[in-house]
Each structure stands twice: as C-alpha cells, then as structure tokens.
Structure 1
C-alpha cells in the first residue's frame, strides 16, 4: 500500500511539473511555437531521466518524436539524429574497446596497475592520476573516456558492485574536472582562443594556460574525488584485494597486442593532430575501428565488433543530441544569449568579485540548457568578449574564466559525452539522480574555488580583469 502511494505521489508530481513547464514555456515572450515546444520537450525529458526508471533512450527518442509529431521540427530531426558525430564516435569507441579487450592488452595493462597496487584505494588513485594526465595529449573528453573505458571495465571486475558504481561516476567526473589543465583539453578551448584572437588580438599560449589551469584542475579534481567518496560512502565497501593474484608482466607482447598498440598509437596521433589533417575525431575513431576489424589482419571480426556496441546507449545519445540541437535551430539558445548578455552588462561598473562571480555563475550553469560543450563556447564566448571590451576589462581573462566555468558539466548524463559513455552500460554504470545530487554539492564548490583562485594564484601569475 505504501509503495502504491509513493508511485501515485511521484506520478502526480511529474504530471504537475509538466503542467508547470507548459504554462511557463508558452508564456515566454520572444519565442515562437517551435522554440517553446522544444523547450517543453527538453524540460520533460530531463524530468523523466531524473525522477523515473523509464529507459533513458526511450525517453529521448519519444521526446524527439513528440517534437516532430507536434510540428515543432521536421522528420529529418529524427532521421538525422544517427548522423551526429558523437554517435559514430561512440560506435567506434565500443569497437576499439572490444579489440583492446580481445587482444589481451587491456588485461596486461590491468596487471601492471594491480602489480603496483597493494590496496583498492591505491589502484583507484593510480587510475585517476593516469586519466588526469591524458588531458595533455588527447584533445577531447570523449577520446579520453573511450580510451579509459576498457581499462576501467577490467579493473572493475575486481571490485564489489558498489565500488563499480563509485568508479563509474568517478572516472568521467575526473575526466571533466581535469579538462581545465591543458589548452588542448577540449576542442572548445581552441575555438574560443580563435575567437579571442580575431576579436581582440589577444591570446592565451599553451604554457600560459598550463600555468593557470593545471593547479586549478588538480585542486577541483581532488575535491571532486573526495565529495564522491563521501556521497557514496555506503556503496564503497572494502574490496577483497588479493595481491597474490597479481602477476609479474614478463611475457612478451603477442602479435595481437603489438597490432593493437600500433593502431592505438595512430589513433592518438590522429586525435592530437585533428587541426592539421582536418578529419574529425569521430571519423578517425571509426577509421581505427575499421582497421581493428580487417579480415585476417585485424584484431576482432566484424560480428564481434558490432556485437560489442551498446545500441541502447547509441540510440539514447543520438536522440538526446538531437534534443540539444533543436534548441539551437529554433532560436531558443540565441534568445538565451541575448538575455544573458544583457544581464552581464548590468555589472559593467561592478567590482571585480561581482564580475567574476557573475561570469562563473552563468558559464558553469550553461550546460543545463546548452548540452554541447562546443556549442556553449560558440554561443557564449562572443558575448563575453563583447562585454569585456565594452566594460574595459581584459578579454583574455574574461574568456579564460568563461571556459573554466563551461568546463563544469556534470549535472545530467547528457551534459557531456564522457558522462554518456559510462551511463546505462553493463555493470559499470551510475544513476542520473546521483549525478544531480553530486552536482548540487560540487557546483558551488567549483565556483568558490575558481573565485578564490582568481583573487590569489591567478592574479599572482598575471591574470586580471583590470
């Protein structure tokens, strides 16, 4: 009876929330019917992802179909969803991960980690350190997640179910929090620096970014790991860590492992030199997957590769990405940009601490309504530069602070591709509601740390708005 009452209460609450969304969205001025419908569908999907156990892919797909059915978008919105770059990136990533597993290379890497780890805690710290370091040579959070996942899956086999869930949250959060460490940590950094150079003539070098970003990224990563450990303390039980099961890695590399290493090396080179050869990250990843499945030459067969893809997750990513895309196409994002830029101009004569806090609040919450990291930069950075020039403050400092804020994106699974890669997939998964709780703690912590850094270390090292 109590269970029935809870279900009834939850259902009624969700219905009332949808009624509220409907009233609010369709009462907004300056938006047409399609923009309002898209906003309503997006809010509805977010609510269902967090408050229900309905499969996330089903909710996303149904939301896209709802928009099309209600004439809020063309049918191509659904059909073209599978052509999104992130979809093919993830398909390729699953295949490459399977090849790494089947070759035996993942097991070898796991044994190296385990051989140097006497406790589960040390093992986790080793993995976190490795993931943090990848920010300096892989210019994509998605690429870093794709590379880390097969290793994490194997290490997870030695952990309890609760510890697996802790690891599934910790890994993508560390990937995202360490993004600020390097200029090539995210494609949005490069795009924004390009906009900064063309609009103001100022720039931020690789070394300067590292001086400013590395200490900050290190601090927020450590704090994030501690908050996750505290929040999930009931799930993280002591592991039965048998160090005797670890073996010395003395056997020579097999032919399959050698081929896998060579292909991965070319993949890393391709990801790092995207601006030189012009091929997108997704294309390079799929190309690597094709090589992995070459008949009689590759690591795995076509059937093995296709079977390794989590199609439930792929459909969710495709539909969720289309939901974010329609917000841009209907003009909703542009409308939000105008509102936000106008809000910033109110603070043009304000003291530095208000300007810094205002920029960080707006940019760190932008992932709630602009799901793409790159889109956030394209939409917000021009307004930030315009504001900085009119207010007489340093455009480079304002852009750096904005990118630091935009790098925070852990509230929802759809907020980042790295989060999506570990969402609803096999044993290594996490709950969307937990992610929201985590963000409720980490977001204010992240902003406070950034403000403290600005008035101490960043100013000491030459970054100032005035």
Structure 2
C-alpha cells in the first residue's frame, strides 16, 4: 500500500480515536480503536515503528485510558533489556568486522553452488545464536554476500545470484524465531508473558520446544527450495584469498560470545535471566579499558527496535488490562465449538488464528495481541497456560510474505531481489511447513508435556 494512502487511513483512525475520547465513549472502545491504529501503523510502516510506539504511549498517557504502570510496562520488561544488549553486541560485531572474518574462513575451498547455498543458510543460523537482532544479522551478511556474488561472477540475470541472496536472508531470520533471544516477536512474547502472567520463559525450554522441529525444519526447507527454484551450474570458482589473522579484539569478542551463549543455554540451571546475561555482556563491551567499543558509542546506537519492543509489550499489557483480549477471544469461543474438538484440532485453530493475524499485520504484532488472549484461550480450551502461550510460536516461523518480517523485507530490498522471486520460495515453504512442520511440532510439544 502506498504510504500516502496508509497515512490517510491512519489519520482517519486517529481522528476516530480522538472523537471517541472527546465524546466520552467507553474506555474499551477507545482502547480498541487505538490498538487497531497501532497495529495498522506497524503493519504498513506508514511511519517508523518506533514513532508508532511513542504515539501509542503518548495517546494512553494523555487520555488516561490505562494506568501509567500498565502503559509503560514494556520498559520494565526483561525483554527490552535483551533488545538493548542485542543493539550493543551487534554494534561490537560490526565494528570489528567479525562477520567478514568468519565468512571468509567458512568459504574455504568451496567449489559447489549447492554447498554455497547450504553454507550461507548455516552461517545465518549460527549467527542467530550469537547476534540477538535479526536486522543486525541481515545487515551484517547482506554486504558480504553481495560482494561474494560479484567475486563469483553471478550476473544480474543469473538465478544463482537471487538464490544466494534469498538463502542468506531467510536463513538468518526464519529459523531464529525458535531461539528466544534472536528475534523481536520472541522477545515480545517473553516480555508480555512476564508482564501479564508473571511467567518467565527460559532460553532452554523455549529452544527445546521449538528448535528441534520448527528451527531445524526451516533450516532444511529453505536451502532445498532455493536450489529447486534457482538452479544453475553447480561448479563455482572462488578467487584465491587468504583470510587475515584473527585480531586480538576479535578473539575477545569470540570468547565473550561463547561465554554468553553458554550462560544462555544453561539459564534453567543457574536461574539468571537471559536478559541479564545479555546485559552483562553489553556492559562489559562498553567498559573503559576493554577496548571493544567506546563508552560514548551508546549515544549513537539506533534505539528504534528498543522503543518498538517496549511498545509491543505495552500494547499486550493494555489489551489484557482493559479486558479487550478476553472480549475478542469470547467472540471466537462463541462461534467455534471447542468443547467437541480434539486437542490437535484446537492447536490447529489457535495456530491458524495467529497465522491469519500475521497476514494482516506483521509478525511482532502476533505476540502483542495474542499473548493477552492466552489466559482466555487456556480457559476455553481447558489447556495449561503454557500451551496457550506457546501455540502461537509456529505462526512466527511459518509465513509466506516478506512484509510480515521487516528484516526479510529490508534484506531482500537491499540485495535487489524481486519480491516475486522470493515469494516463490516463501509460499512453497508456507505450504510445506504448515502441512509437515506444524503437526510434527504439536507431537513434539505433546511428547515434552507442553501441549495436551
């Protein structure tokens, strides 16, 4: 949708919201209009996502539709501090050219186009464990694969060029939805669950439930589909080059990331939140004398994702506090005869609802709106709260349109990939993952005792 039209629609929704407040409409009505406006602005990016979050906060605080502690709950969430840690760590990794140093070593004596596609997807997956920002990973890898395509002589009309770029972007983003520290929707789910239900999702339990089927499944499907849709001459020849030796700072960063990852994966054992582990790593990088990043660099970070995460968590808290979430699910509950459905069918309905929501908004909007519904969902389905909370995760991983995940859209646009070419892969992935990965994920969750 052109920005002029989306801004006009947003302006109309804003006028309706102001009129509802001025005319003394029920607070629930005004909150519903504001929630729709906020979700619409995030879906269309008519204005920057962080500005939408600030508009949301300002509207709530000026009108008094929600208590201050509810409206600003996102800033108290552990998840937003994990986003801050991700901003710092991404800056450190980029400043010391860790991506280039690692990528050159992984290429080695590569001589096969299929091996190249699997390698870039594996690199994105590996970086998902180390860099807590999908946008950071994409912006780190995109210039590297762009230069690599030129080094390999992949012309503009060579299918292998688009295949390389699509595998890079999707490989760095999609499987990472199963790693709680690695993408914004995961963090919004983590923060909203804590703010609304006082339920802290640990790194280890989230990984154990989602990565074996959804994460690895996405990792296997994406390169397979890319190689099927973008074939070409198998043999490639890389110009001979010798990677520069690791610098002292790069070694320090590698050690820091390894320690951070070790603490993240064992958080259930030592009880330290993954947010505080990430924050410790970020503060260490900023300390004078460490030499990884000047302390004054904190003022130059892009805090847009930080405000966006706080706004998403705040929206979830307001929807829950106002009773709007329970009201919305009540309408679904009145139409769908859940009492006569089996648990696998209930799971499919919940996931389908979340996926439908994702097609008209963006992926980060799913946990912002869906998490407040989890309590009502659990009650109507006779499920444990965790089952209702975590049934939305497949909707993060299984999607078919680039606009739904801003890092995917940004990466493909930066690399000049036609969206129609990328959607050839993504829509096929959507169908296969829905029919295969989603049922397997339910069975795996049932085996772990998460889903009934």
Which TM-score tier does this pair reach, normalised by the shorter chain?
Answer: 0.5 to 0.7
Unaligned runs of 5+ in 1: 1-5, 27-31, 180-184, 193-204, 390-394
Question: Aligned partners of 2:344, 2:258: CA distance in 1, in Å?
Answer: 45
Q: What whole-Å deviation, never above 9, does each CA across 1:355-414 have from its counterpart, x for those lacking one? A: 45324323544666984749956853784476357xxxxx89977993664554758999
Counterpart of 2:381?
387
**1:182 paired residue number:** none
* Count of residues in correspondence between the two structures: 411
Tell me the equivalent position of 1:277: 270
TM-score normalised by L of structure 2:
0.65
Inter-partner Cα distance in structure 1 for 2:135 and 2:106: 18
**What is the root-mean-square deviation of aligned Cα atoms in Å?**
5.7
SS of the aligned residue for 1:348 comes to helix
Contact 2:188 2:313 in 1 (8 A): no
Instruction: Describe the SS at the equivalent of 1:54.
Output: coil
Alpha-carbon separation, structure 2, partners of 1:429 and 1:33: 48
Using the TM superposition, give the Cα deviation of residue 218 of structure 1 relative to its aligned residue in structure 2, in angstroms: 3.9
Match of 2:99 among 93, 106, 113: 106
Aligned with 2:339: secondary structure? coil
TM-score where L is the length of structure 1: 0.63
Contact conserved, 1:37 with 1:67, CA < 8 A, in 2?
A: no
Larger CA deviation: 399-408 vs 165-174 = 399-408
Assess, with a 3 A threshold, how the Cα gap between structure 1 residues 94 and 157 changes in structure 2: closer, same or farther. farther
> Does 2:105 match 1:128?
no
Which residue of structure 1 aligns with residue 258 of structure 2?
265
Instruction: State yes or no: 1:39 paired with 2:40.
Output: no
- 2:316 is the counterpart of 1:316: no
Deviation at 1:243, TM superposition (A): 1.9
Change (3 A) 1:229 1:15: farther
* Long gaps (5+) in structure 2: 150-155, 181-185, 194-203
Task: Tell me the distance in 2 between the aligned counterparts of 1:75 and 1:462.
Answer: 39
Judged with a 3 Å threshold, the aligned counterparts in structure 2 of structure 1 residues 458 and 52 are, in CA distance, closer, same or farther, namely closer
Query: CA separation in 1, counterparts of 2:355 and 2:256?
Result: 37
Partner of 1:55: 48
Q: Is the Cα–Cα contact under 8 Å of residues 35 and 327 in structure 1 kept in the other structure?
A: no
1:8-407 matches, within 5 Å, as: 10=5, 14=9, 18=13, 33-51=26-44, 53-74=46-67, 81-118=74-111, 122-132=115-125, 143=132, 145=134, 148=137, 152=141, 155-156=144-145, 158=147, 166=166, 167-168=168-169, 170-176=171-177, 214-215=212-213, 217-223=215-221, 243-244=238-239, 246-248=241-243, 251=245, 253-307=246-300, 309-341=301-333, 346-350=337-341, 354-355=345-346, 357-365=348-356, 371=365, 373=367, 376=370, 379-380=373-374, 383-384=377-378, 387=381, 402=391, 405=394, 407=396
CA distance in 2, matches of 1:357, 1:188: 19
Q: Is this contact kept in 1: 2:82–2:276, CA < 8 A?
A: yes
Following superposition of structure 1 onto structure 2, how do residues 443-454 of structure 1 map, counting pairs within 5 Å? 446-450=433-437, 453=440
Q: Is the 8 A contact 2:375 2:388 kept in 1?
A: yes
Distance (Å, rounded) in 1 between the aligned partners of 2:270 and 2:79: 19
By how many angstroms is 1:85 displaced?
3.3
Distance 2:441 2:139 in 1: 37
Distance 2:32 2:57 in 1: 12
- How far apart, in 2, do the equivalents of 1:462 and 1:89 lie? 27
